[in-house]
Structure formats: C-alpha cells, structure tokens
Structure 1
Amino acid sequence: MLVGYARTSTFDQIAGLEAQIEHLVATGCKVFAEQVSSVAERPQLDAALDFVREGDTLVVTRLDRLARSTADLLRIVSVLEAKGVSLRVIDFGGSEMDTQSPAGRLTLTMFGALAQFERELMLVRQREGIERAKRLGRYRGRAPTARAKLLDIKRLAGEGLRAPDIAKKLGVSRASVYRLLAEARP
C-alpha cells in the first residue's frame, strides 16, 4: 500500500499543501496531511508511521516535507525499516528515490545531510540579515499573529472552548491565548 505524507509549516501555505495532496492522491496514496512546523509535534506523521505495515511504502513529495534534520530523517527511516516499510521521495532533485535499494538508502542519507546543511546555512544568513537590519534601525520583527486573531480568541472563549483548543483551532500558541485572554479581562 502507498501511504502519503504531506506537510507545510504554516496556514499561509495552503496552496503548497493542496499541491502535495493532489500529487500524492494521483500517485495512489492514502494521504496523511498537516500544517505544522517540522520542529513541532507532527501528529499526522506519527499517525502515518503507526499506520504503515510491512510491504507498504511511505511516499512524500519532497524530503524537506518529512524530516527536520539528518538525525530526524534517519530516525524516521529506522522506524520504517523496522516495520519493513520503504520510503519513496517523488521529487528528489528531478528524479525519484526509493529506499528499497542500497543505492537509494545511501542517496537518501547523503541528501538528508545536504538538506540539513543548507537549512543551517539559511538560518545563519537569516540571523546575519536580522542583525544588520537591527543595526540600521530597519528591523521590525515578525507580525504578531495571535493578536490579529484576538476577536476570534474572545469569541471561541465565549463559546466555552478551552485555551488549548482555541490555540489549536487558530494555529497560535497556548501561551498567546492565555496572555491575550488575561489582557482582555476587565
């Protein structure tokens, strides 16, 4: 059985998630999808890893949709191998990659390391850019996403939803929901 996993980091990337899902469905996959940062808990990935059985193949459109680091990738591959499940990456630099072969496993490990290296370089460049912008007085920080959803937070709280449920529903942190509700109290 082909089991697909699709992920984007933010709710703003809905088109990217939809494109992944369409590609996985066209490949014949049962799809698990979520919009969550790779550094957060990924319940749909956990569900997909729990769902797959011996002889199945976990399919992702791109490697960066699956793992946050080489160590995370190797952990996931180890879980899959222990269950007798292979991993298939549809868009692997213009070709497709499958861990059913030794060459596929080697390639996956090498590209996982390169992807992690690229991400770490990007983060260094990002930090350098932020520091430069701060020195020039141009840095404003990211837009406060939770505060923009204050009316929705108040409405959902008024409907009796708990802060963790509100946070999950609106895609903000629980701490932000608690803080904004406390600020809104008379």
Structure 2
Amino acid sequence: MSTQEQAQEGVSIDAQKEKLISYCAERHLEVVEVIVDDGISGGKYLSQRPGGQRLIELVSTKKVTHVLAAKLDRLFRNSADALWTIEGWDNKGITTHLLDVNGMGLDTSNPFGKMMLTMMAGFAQLERSLIKERTKTAMQHKKSTKRKYCREVYGFDINESGDMVANEQEQATITLIKRLRESGESLRAIASKLTELGIRTKRGGTDWIHTTVNSILKNSIHANVAS
C-alpha cells in the first residue's frame, strides 16, 4: 500500500496520514510506504512530482497492490490522466482507494467503485476548469483597474495600497520597445539594443533577453502605452 497526497485546506498532513493508516488497518492492508508531496501542485502529472515518481516506482516494481489517496484531484492532473492511470493500475492488479468521497471510502475493486470514480474524474476536471476561468477573470479585472495581480510588472511600481503606479522611466522603455518592433526589429535585436543602452530590467540587471521583450509586448496591461 502506498499513499500520495498533499495537505488539504484545514487538514494537517499528520491528520491525513492517521486517517489513511486507520483505513488500512480496518481493511487489513499492510502499509508499505507513506508518500507526501507537500507543497507540490496537484495539477502536475505524477511523473513530475518527487513523491509521484516514488509512487510510480513502487507500482512498476510490483511492491504495492493498493494505492490510497485522500482526494482524486490531488492524485491526478485531470480526468483523462486519472482514468488512463487507474486503468493501467487495474490491469496490473492494483486497487485504487479514495478516502474522502462525501465522508465515505471508495475503491476500484468493484464495478460500482469504478463507475463512481469515472464520474468523479469528470467532475474534478470541471472544477479545475471553473477555478482556472475564475482566476483568469479575476486577473483581468485587476489588470483593468491597475491593481497588483502578480509580484512585479515592468512599467509599474506597487504603492502601499496595492495599486499599480506607472514608472515613467520603464514606460519610456516600453514605448521604445514598441517602436523598434513596429520598425521590423526582431525580439533578439530589441533585447540586444536595450542591453547596449544599459537600460535596466525590472530586477535591476542590464542583460535583456528576447523572452522578456516578448512578454512585455504581449501583456495587455501595456496596450495603452504610446508607441
């Protein structure tokens, strides 16, 4: 048995471990290893997480026959990932258990459990999509009202109230970037020009790269900066 889970809001990792271990004891499952991916996004594939890599290793070497997790959306990136991975585990004789399903446990050892998991995977994907859309909308609103929406934005400073205030020197650089681009200069050529002029980046350096120039040109918050 192996577990793979991050801390949920209001629930400590220790509490989750205790719940998972108790579940195993009730079903006479031996705990092989407890894996914690603390601070790692559930939006990443298992292979992209340290704990997930360890879980894959345990499964591929057939050291476990059951995989437990507190919630589906903390174990898999999306519905397709969940269904594809769990089907692969089923083919290897590995049962997947989810503990937090409206206060009940669920496993894939029976047709009902598999059906419920398929439905849950779809709803989990819907929830992620809705959260992403709400986040995008909130960011766009902050941009339009010149409120801080990330750590730093070239062309602006943040005052004590969290408002974005135009940095005149950086705004002038944005105007220069736009004019060079409109004249046909490549992103790399613009970056080289800024470096030659000794213009400072947002972090205080003078070495510009084309990706920084591109991000400035694509940021909608600079749409009204004169060119």
| TM-score when normalising by structure 2 | 0.54
Task: Select the residue among 16, 20, 24 that pairs with 2:20.
Answer: 24
Aligned-residue offset at 1:142: 4.3
Map Cα deviations across residues 67-116 of structure 1 (whole Å, 9 max, x no partner): 11001101220221121001010111221111001111111011111011
Q: Does 1:46 align with 2:70?
A: no
Distance 2:88 2:63 in 1: 11
Q: Which runs of 5+ in 1 are unaligned?
A: 144-182
Report what 2:97 is aligned to: 88
Structure 2: which 5+ residue stretches go unaligned? 25-30, 153-204, 206-227
**Separation in 1, partners of 2:18, 2:74:** 15
Q: CA deviation at 1:140?
A: 3.4
In structure 1, what is the Cα distance between the partners aligned to 2:151 and 2:78? 24
Q: Which residue of 1 aligns with 2:138?
A: 129
Q: Once structures 1 and 2 are overlaid, which stretch shifts more, 100-109 or 13-22?
A: 13-22
Task: Tell me which structure has the larger Cα radius of gyration.
Answer: 2
Task: Give how far 1:22 is off.
Answer: 2.9
Residue 137 of structure 1 aligns to a residue whose secondary structure is: coil
User: 2:4 corresponds to which residue?
Assistant: 5
Q: Aligned runs of 1:1-186 on 2, under 5 Å?
A: 2-8=1-7, 16-28=12-24, 29=31, 30-35=33-38, 36-40=40-44, 41-52=48-59, 53=62, 56-142=65-151
Q: CA separation of 1:71/1:8 partners in 2, compared to 1, >3 Å: closer, same or farther?
A: farther
2: CA distance, partners of 1:3 / 1:58: 5
Q: For the structure 1 residues 119 and 142, does the alpha-carbon distance in structure 2 shift closer, same or farther, using more than 3 Å as the test?
A: farther
User: Which structure dedicates a bigger proportion of its chain to helix?
Assistant: 1
- Structure 1 residue matching 2:6: 3-state secondary structure: strand
8 Å Cα contact 2:43/2:76 also seen in 1: no
Alpha-carbon distance in structure 2 between the residues aligned to 1:87 and 1:142: 39
Quick one: distance in 1 between partners of 2:66 and 2:105? 13
Which structure ranks higher in relative contact order (CA pairs < 8 Å, sequence separation ≥ 6)?
1
Counterpart code for 1:135: S
In the alignment, which residue of structure 2 is the partner of 1:147?
A: none
Deviates more, 1:99-108 or 1:31-40: 31-40
RMSD between superposed Cα atoms in Å: 2.7
The percentage of aligned residue pairs carrying the same residue is 26
- Report the secondary structure of 1:123's partner residue: helix
**How many equivalent pairs are there?**
141
Instruction: Indicate how the Cα distance of structure 1 residues 135 and 81 shifts in structure 2: closer, same or farther if over 3 A, else same.
Output: same
